[in-house]
């Protein structure tokens, strides 16, 4: 015999609400995971460009040193999920490093490093992220020994 005012008839309401909200909760979780991964990739790519540019700015002899700038960028990006694909150098694949010596507006020697990184495919978010990003970051530093 049921008592008057019993909460028994509403016992399944929480399960139904959770079932209706579960797709939204999952979408928010995946979005936060992707956002964190892409943020890490952006920061790592910028750091790789900065470190490679600082190396190339040590002296006029290193201003065009593509190989060592590539190595420095690879070391900085070593924690990325597709870092095992970096062994072929920095002219193709998910990591590209381009070093360009130039003369700045004040007539001093400088070095520009462009790092391009292609992320691993993640879960696409329709209308926001296609699932894979190509990140370009550049750094310019004056050559110190000039």
pTM as predicted: 0.79
Contacts of 68-74 with C-beta under 8 Å, sequence gap 24+, read 69/97, 69/99, 69/113, 70/97, 72/48, 73/48, 73/49, 73/97, 73/113, 73/115
Question: For residue 90, is it within any domain?
Answer: yes
8 domain residue, yes or no:
no
Would residue 3 count as lying in a domain? no
pLDDT of residue 3: 60
Q: Would you state the pLDDT for residue 43?
A: 96
Name residue 134's beta-bridge partners: 118
Report the domain count for the chain: 1
pLDDT of residue 100: 92
pLDDT at 4: 62
Residue 9 lies in a domain: no
Tell me the average confidence (pLDDT) per consecutive run of 10 residues in the chain, 146 residues long. 59 86 90 88 95 92 89 92 83 89 90 93 73 90 81
Domain containing 43 equals 15-142
Beta bridge partners of 140: 112
For residue 4, being part of any structural domain is answered with no
């Amino acid at each position: 015999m049921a008592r008057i005012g019993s909460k028994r008839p509403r016992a399944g309401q929480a399960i139904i609400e959770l079932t209706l909200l579960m797709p939204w909760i999952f979408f928010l979780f995946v979005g936060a995971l992707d956002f964190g991964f892409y943020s890490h990739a952006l920061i790592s790519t910028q750091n790789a460009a900065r470190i490679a540019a600082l190396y190339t700015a040590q002296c006029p002899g290193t201003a065009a040193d593509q190989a060592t700038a590539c190595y420095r960028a690879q070391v900085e990006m070593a924690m990325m999920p597709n870092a095992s694909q970096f062994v072929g150098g920095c002219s193709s694949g998910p990591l590209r490093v381009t070093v360009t010596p130039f003369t700045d507006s004040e007539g001093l020697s400088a070095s520009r490093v462009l790092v391009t990184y292609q992320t691993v495919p993640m879960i696409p978010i329709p209308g926001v992220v296609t699932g894979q990003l190509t990140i370009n970051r550049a750094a310019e530093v004056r050559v110190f020994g000039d």
